[in-house]
């Protein structure tokens, strides 16, 4: 099944940005690990937060979906009703955090996931957990999913993690560390990429009453045995999801308003706002209405620009789509972590945009894809079939890139928007984007949105 998307001449309107997936997932975790009742207002409901909820239910948490909030009856330290097999599906964060939490248990627990997750790097996390006393083993070998925790528990001590593969390793240990028998110290080797995600974790833990400290460079952490406290949390907007709407707004002159957006986010992907300003797009926050207005004048997206994406990896595909229309060049570096995501995102975007006629070059650092340089144009012929590589962020970014081409394009992977942005197609339909489901062999079936 493919989605055929017609090009548009203008993009404007008022849109609602989904709630933050990282904030929702972290709040579900702290609510599960606390004793008592926690509430998460304005939670994001998508496949990956559903996977987190189901994993936490496997630990014994009772999670109810109310109108506008989640209500969680936590399990505290007891977790006496944990299931023997916990499913993480395709979520790297769920697998990594649940694996760390399972290592605290004194009973055997298997943590598994789907085929895409089984190919992702897990060895540094497993080695760190073993250093803290866990008896944990990869069932298929190669230190990848699925894994089994044999129930030795988590003693505490010191572990080491690399900073340039995934910040989720640090997050996973931080969530489990308060439940260890003794203090836990984490030492990170090398530079910490995606530091904003670690800061979000630290903020969640501190708000839940956990005794945790971190060095300014986020390479050293100390966690004392402590108990999670129940709390009420309100999540904010998701800037990665907002980036697709903002990029589309930047491709066409006009005015676009995003509702429920605040200017003081901890998310690294909020960098999309200053990046667009550098590209000549006018953006203004209105605190009174919690909105962000985009006024895009004719003549924007011109010049030579460089972006460091070390703290905003999830918008690397968005930037590639945007760069296709920068008259001059857009050079993005620091995206090496994206090769460990659901797809190797730099190579995927370069391959698909090249197929569409875009002049894009992959940039390497020590032989590793680290970014790209795009020399954009005003438009492209279109009329091509582009692959999402099984990655929802690749699909959404290519979708945006296709809007300014001259002919309709076809995309695989439209169903994957449910992972993080379930209303993606509906939001764009509200701007007049026509998307039609077609069979691979040219038979049209139905319009979407």
Kindly report, residue by residue over 100-142, the tens digit of the pLDDT.
999 999 999 999 999 999 999 999 999 999 999 999 999 988 8
Q: What percent of the chain has pLDDT over 70?
A: 98
Residue 209's alpha-carbon distances to 21, 59, 158, 204, 395, in angstroms, are: 22, 20, 22, 9, 39
Domain region containing 403: 2-18+237-448
Where residue 148 falls among pLDDT bands split at 50, 70, 90?
very high
Binding site feature residues for 3-phosphoshikimate: 21, 26, 166-168, 194, 341
The 10s digit of each residue's pLDDT in 312-346 is 999 999 999 999 999 999 999 999 999 999 999 99
With CA atoms as reference, report the closest residue to 41 among 59, 20, 16, 62.
20
Residue 417's alpha-carbon distances to 241, 342, 439, in angstroms, are: 10, 13, 19
Q: Does the pLDDT value for residue 56 go beyond 80?
A: yes
* Same domain flag for 14 and 26: no
Where on the phi/psi map is residue 45: left (φ > 0), alpha (ψ -120 to 50), or beta? Answer: beta
Query: Residue 48: which CATH number?
Result: 3.65.10.10
3 Cα distance to chain centroid: 23
CB 140 within 8 A of CB 146: yes
Question: CA-to-CA distance for 197 and 22, rounded, in angstroms?
Answer: 8
* Same domain flag for 369 and 243: yes
With CA atoms as reference, report the closest residue to 88 among 127, 123, 140, 53.
53
The 10s digit of each residue's pLDDT in 409-423 is 999 999 999 999 999
Question: CA-to-CA distance for 413 and 417, rounded, in angstroms?
Answer: 8
213 Cα distance to chain centroid: 25
Question: CA-to-CA distance for 14 and 410, rounded, in angstroms?
Answer: 26
The 10s digit of each residue's pLDDT in 2-46 is 999 999 999 999 999 999 999 999 999 999 999 999 999 999 999
Residue 423's alpha-carbon distances to 124, 267, 416, 434, in angstroms, are: 35, 21, 11, 15
pLDDT of res. 448 = 60
* Same domain flag for 165 and 143: yes
For residue 68, give both structure tokens. 């506008």
Query: How crowded is residue 284: how many other Cβ atoms within 10 Å of its Cβ?
Result: 10
* Same domain flag for 157 and 297: no
* Same domain flag for 133 and 8: no
* Same domain flag for 366 and 261: yes
pLDDT of res. 449 = 56
The total number of residues shown for the chain amounts to: 449
For residue 11, give both structure tokens. 């993009």
Lowest average pLDDT, out of 88-97, 135-144, 152-161, 239-248, goes to: 135-144
203 Cα distance to chain centroid: 18
* Same domain flag for 252 and 371: yes
- Give me the residue label for tokens 């091509």: 384
425 Cα distance to chain centroid: 18
Binding site feature residues: 21, 26, 92, 120, 166-168, 194, 341, 345, 393
* Same domain flag for 333 and 416: yes
Q: Does the pLDDT value for residue 442 go beyond 60?
A: no
Better pLDDT: 435 or 446: 435
Cis geometry, peptide bond prior to residue 146 (ω within 30 degrees of 0): yes
Number of domains present in the structure of the chain: 2
Binding site feature residues for phosphoenolpyruvate: 21, 92, 120, 168, 345, 393
Alpha helices in 121-166 (DSSP H): 123-131
The 10s digit of each residue's pLDDT in 255-271 is 999 999 988 899 999 99
**Which residue, of 230, 256, 280, is where some domain finishes?**
230
**Which residue, of 214, 230, 246, is where some domain finishes?**
230
With CA atoms as reference, report the closest residue to 368 among 335, 398, 395.
335
* Same domain flag for 29 and 124: yes
Instruction: Give the three-class secondary structure for 353.
Output: helix
**Which residue, of 213, 230, 247, is where some domain finishes?**
230
pLDDT of res. 445 = 46
Where residue 443 falls among pLDDT bands split at 50, 70, 90?
very low
Query: How crowded is residue 196: how many other Cβ atoms within 10 Å of its Cβ?
Result: 22
259 Cα distance to chain centroid: 20
pLDDT of res. 441 = 57
* Same domain flag for 377 and 423: yes
The 10s digit of each residue's pLDDT in 171-223 is 999 999 999 999 999 999 999 999 999 999 999 999 999 999 999 999 999 99
* Same domain flag for 61 and 150: yes
* Same domain flag for 243 and 216: no
For residue 322, give both structure tokens. 């945007």
């Amino acid at each position: 099944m493919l989605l055929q998307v017609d090009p548009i001449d203008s993009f404007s309107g008022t849109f609602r940005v989904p709630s933050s997936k990282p904030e929702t997932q972290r709040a579900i975790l702290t609510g599960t690990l606390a004793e008592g009742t926690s509430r998460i207002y304005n939670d994001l409901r998508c496949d990956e937060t559903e996977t987190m909820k189901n994993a936490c239910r496997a630990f014994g948490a009772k999670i109810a979906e109310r109108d506008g909030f989640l209500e969680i009856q936590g399990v505290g330290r007891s977790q006496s009703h944990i299931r023997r097999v916990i499913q993480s599906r395709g979520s790297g964060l769920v697998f990594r955090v649940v694996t760390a939490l399972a290592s605290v248990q004194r009973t055997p627990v298997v943590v598994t996931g789907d085929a895409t997750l089984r190919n992702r790097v897990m060895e540094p996390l497993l080695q760190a957990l073993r250093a803290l006393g866990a008896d944990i083993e990869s069932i298929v070998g190669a230190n990848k999913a699925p894994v089994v925790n044999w129930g030795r528990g988590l003693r505490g001590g010191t572990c080491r993690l690399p900073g340039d593969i995934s910040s989720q390793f640090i997050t996973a240990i931080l969530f489990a560390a308060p439940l260890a028998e003794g203090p836990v110290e984490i030492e990170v080797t090398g530079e910490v990429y995606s530091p904003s995600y670690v800061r979000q974790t630290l903020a969640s833990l501190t708000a839940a009453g956990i005794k945790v400290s971190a060095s300014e460079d986020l390479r050293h952490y100390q966690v004392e045995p402590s108990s999670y406290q129940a709390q009420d949390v309100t999540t904010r907007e998701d800037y990665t999801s907002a980036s697709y709407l903002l990029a589309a707004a930047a491709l066409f002159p006009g005015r676009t308003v995003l509702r429920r957006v605040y200017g003081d986010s901890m998310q690294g992907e909020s960098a999309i706002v200053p990046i667009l300003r550098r590209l000549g797009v006018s953006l203004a926050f209105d605190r009174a209405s919690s909105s962000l207005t985009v006024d895009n004048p004719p003549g924007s997206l011109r010049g030579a620009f460089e972006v460091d994406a070390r703290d905003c990896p999830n918008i690397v595909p968005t930037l590639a789509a945007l760069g296709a229309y920068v008259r001059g060049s857009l050079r993005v570096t620091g995206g090496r972590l994206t090769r460990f995501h659901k797809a190797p995102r730099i190579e995927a975007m370069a391959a698909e945009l090249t197929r569409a006629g875009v002049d894009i070059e992959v940039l390497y650092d020590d032989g590793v894809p680290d970014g790209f340089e795009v020399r954009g144009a005003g438009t492209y012929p279109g009329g091509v079939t582009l692959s999402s590589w099984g990655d929802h962020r690749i699909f959404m970014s290519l979708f945006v890139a296709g809007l300014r081409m001259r002919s309709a394009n076809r995309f695989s992977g439209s169903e994957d928007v449910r992972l993080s942005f379930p209303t993606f197609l509906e939001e764009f339909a509200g701007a007049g984007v026509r998307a039609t489901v077609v069979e691979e062999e040219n038979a049209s079936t139905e319009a979407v949105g």
